[in-house]
Structure 1
Amino acid sequence: MQAHFYLADEAQQVALGGHLAQTLQEGVIYLEGDLGAGKTTFTRGLIRALGHQGAVKSPTYTLVEPYVFDQQTVYHFDLYRLADPEELEMIGIRDYFDEGSLCLIEWPQKGEGFLPPPDLRLNFSLADQEGRDLQVEALSDLGRKALQQLLQAGNSLN
C-alpha cells in the first residue's frame, strides 16, 4: 500500500509527523531522501507530539538518540556518517528493536543487512522552495493500519 502527500511547508511536515505519533506506537520507520528533504523536521513533529519539550536534532555523530516517554521509547537513528554497516553490531543495534519501541531510521541504506525490515518507508523529496513531496509505503500490517490513519489525517492538512 502506498500514498503520496504534498507538504506545503515546514508546519505541515511537523503536523504530519505529529499525526503519525498518534497512530503508530511501535515499529520501524525508514526515513529516506536527500539532505535537507525534511526527514528530521518530520521526526521533530513526531517526537514533540509525544510530549518532548527540548530540541530534536539529527543524531549524526552519536548514531542514535533515545526519547523515553511514559508509555513508549522512541529511538531516532541517523546513519549518514556510518562508514560500515558492521559498526551497528558494535552499538548493539538489535537491542533497540524490542517490542514496544518505535525506531525512526534516517539513511537506512547505510545499515543494510543489519536493520530489520520497516513497517513504513517514507521518502522525502524537495517539491519547491518550501514544499516537500512525501511517498509513504506500508510494508506490514502495522504499517498499513498506520498509513490508513495517516491518510485521513493528511486530508486535514490541505
Structure 2
Amino acid sequence: MTLTAPTLSDLPAAAAQLISFAGTEKVFLFTGDMGAGKTTFIKSVCEALGVTGGVTSPTFAIINEYSAPNQKIYHFDFYRLKTQTEALDMGAEEYFYSGNYCFIEWPEQIPDMLPLHYISVAIKVLTDGSREIAIDKV
C-alpha cells in the first residue's frame, strides 16, 4: 500500500491507515533518508494509538518508551550504533518479541537482529515536498 501525505496535517489519517493495515502486527521498521520524516510520522502513529505525552527522537537514548491505554510502545533509533552488538547488549530482541508496539528507525543498522515478521514503512520525500509512504507486511 502506498500513501501520500502532502502536508503534516495529512499524517494522522496516514497513521490510522497504517495501524489498520498492520492488524495484529506490532513491529514496524521505518526507513528513509535523514530528514524524511520518520520520527514525525511515528509521533502521529503514537497519537493514533493514544499516547498523550511527548514523542521525541531517541537518537541519543537509542530507545524511548511511551504509554498508551493498556499498552507500552517502544521507539528505537539505531542511527548511532557502531555495531549490532550494542543493540544485542541492550536487549533489543527482547523488546521486539515482547508483544508491545516497537517502532524502529534505522533498522539497516541491525540487519541480523530483525524479527521475521514486521511492517515495513518506507518514507520518501517527493520533489514537491510531500511524503510518499510505502507500507508492506514482511
TM-score of the alignment, normalized to the shorter chain, above 0.5: yes
Secondary structure class of the residue paired with 2:51: coil
Find the counterpart in structure 2 of residue 156 from structure 1: none
Residue 113 (structure 1) aligned with residue 104 (structure 2)? no
Deviation at 1:129, TM superposition (A): 4.3
Q: How does 1:34-113 map to 2 (within 5 A)?
A: 34-113=33-112
Deviation per CA, 1:48-91, whole angstroms, max 9, x where unpaired? 12222232111001111111233221111111111111101110
Deviation at 1:26, TM superposition (A): 4.6
Secondary structure class of the residue paired with 1:100: coil
Residue 10 (structure 1) aligned with residue 13 (structure 2)? no
**1:51 & 1:72 partners in 2: Cα distance?**
9
1:16 is aligned with what amino acid? A
Scaled by the length of structure 2, the TM-score of the pair is 0.87
**1:134 & 1:7 partners in 2: Cα distance?**
8
Scaled by the length of structure 1, the TM-score of the pair is 0.77
Judge which range, 14-23 or 111-120, deviates more.
14-23
2:28 is aligned with what amino acid? I
Find the counterpart in structure 2 of residue 29 from structure 1: 28
Secondary structure class of the residue paired with 2:50: coil
**1:21 & 1:9 partners in 2: Cα distance?**
19
**In the alignment, is the contact (CA less than 8 A) between 1:25 and 1:100 conserved in 2?**
no
What is the Cα-based RMSD across aligned positions, in Å? 1.9
Deviation per CA, 1:84-126, whole angstroms, max 9, x where unpaired? 1110111011221234311110000001112213421011011
**2:133 & 2:53 partners in 1: Cα distance?**
26
Deviation at 1:25, TM superposition (A): 5.4
**1:80 & 1:37 partners in 2: Cα distance?**
14
Q: Structure 1 vs Structure 2: percent identity of aligned residues?
A: 31
**In the alignment, is the contact (CA less than 8 A) between 1:14 and 1:44 conserved in 2?**
no
**In the alignment, is the contact (CA less than 8 A) between 1:8 and 1:131 conserved in 2?**
yes
**1:80 & 1:72 partners in 2: Cα distance?**
26
